[in-house]
Amino acid sequence: QQQVKQSPQSLIVQKGGISIINCAYENTAFDYFPWYQQFPGKGPALLIAIRPDVSEKKEGRFTISFNKSAKQFSLHIMDSQPGDSATYFCAASSVQGAQKLVFGQGTRLTINP
Amino acid sequence: KAGVTQTPRYLIKTRGQQVTLSCSPISGHRSVSWYQQTPGQGLQFLFEYFSETQRNKGNFPGRFSGRQFSNSRSEMNVSTLELGDSALYLCASSHQGVETQYFGPGTRLLVL
């Protein structure tokens, strides 16, 4: 019940296209859903996060869509650029409960120029 | 503000040895969490400290331990190292908990 399932494992998108990464969770106590971006040799960097009281959050070219009834959330990267090539992790946690992030397995995104 | 710093960045140890990793959180942050990252298991939570108290612990053996000092700096220790402990160990800090956690660059540990 603590798992977060992420797909796809790898994704290749053409420059200017839309990159979409999906995650699903089981634990209904989760109420905080961040996305992290990680470049080789670096630690994960917080990209964008959402709480379940909204269905969508947009920051620049990055958008989180959240479907509470389906227990799914996704990251959309609009106008994908070669500099977006990185590994993306979704995560989930309960803000009021255990202070720990449960991560998805990651998606290696490659943007072809 | 300076980011989360971790020392050392790279470490090579042999089986049976012990190792101590250090993490300095962002100034003003009182919560420090540790995660292990491996290609097979991904990112897994080790433990979280807040104001020198361990609040949460992940499913790791007792060989993994940590502590937090009064200045919020944290250390984690792994005793009796095993080959499977080879990983990137990440520290993350935040003001209070999981929200808006900032990660350091990690310490890459290789156990031979």
CA B38 to CA A28: how far, in whole Å?
27
In the predicted model, what is the mean pLDDT of chain A?
94
Query: What are the distances in angstroms from CA B18 to CA A34, A95, B9, B34, B82?
Result: 33, 34, 16, 17, 10
For position A50, what pLDDT does the model report?
A: 94
Q: How confident is the model at residue A112 (pLDDT cuts 50, 70, 90)?
A: very high
Q: How confident is the model at residue A48 (pLDDT cuts 50, 70, 90)?
A: very high
For position B92, what pLDDT does the model report?
A: 96
Model pLDDT for residues B44-78, shown as the tens digit of each residue: 999 999 999 999 999 999 999 999 999 999 999 99
Judge: B58–A42 Cβ closer than 8 Å, yes or no: no
Q: Cβ of B65 under 8 Å from any chain A Cβ?
A: no
Judge: B33–A101 Cβ closer than 8 Å, yes or no: yes
Judge: B45–A106 Cβ closer than 8 Å, yes or no: no
Q: Report how many Cβ contacts below 8 Å link chain A to chain B.
A: 63
Q: Nearest C-alpha of chain B: how many angstroms from A6?
A: 12
Please give the residue that has the higher pLDDT: either A95 or B71: B71
For position A15, what pLDDT does the model report?
A: 97
> Do residues B24 and B73 lie in contact, with contact meaning Cβ atoms separated by under 8 Å?
yes
For position A1, what pLDDT does the model report?
A: 61
| 3-class secondary-structure state, position A37 | strand
Residues from chain B contacting residue A42 (CB–CB below 8 Å): 105-106
Q: How confident is the model at residue A96 (pLDDT cuts 50, 70, 90)?
A: confident
Judge: A101–B97 Cβ closer than 8 Å, yes or no: no
Model pLDDT for residues B1-26, shown as the tens digit of each residue: 689 999 999 999 999 999 999 999 99
Nearest to A23 by CA among A99, A94, A75: A75
CA A52 to CA A32: how far, in whole Å?
7
Residues from chain B contacting residue A36 (CB–CB below 8 Å): 103
For position B96, what pLDDT does the model report?
A: 83
| Residues A81-97, mean pLDDT to the nearest whole number | 93
Model pLDDT for residues A11-38, shown as the tens digit of each residue: 999 999 999 999 999 999 999 999 999 9
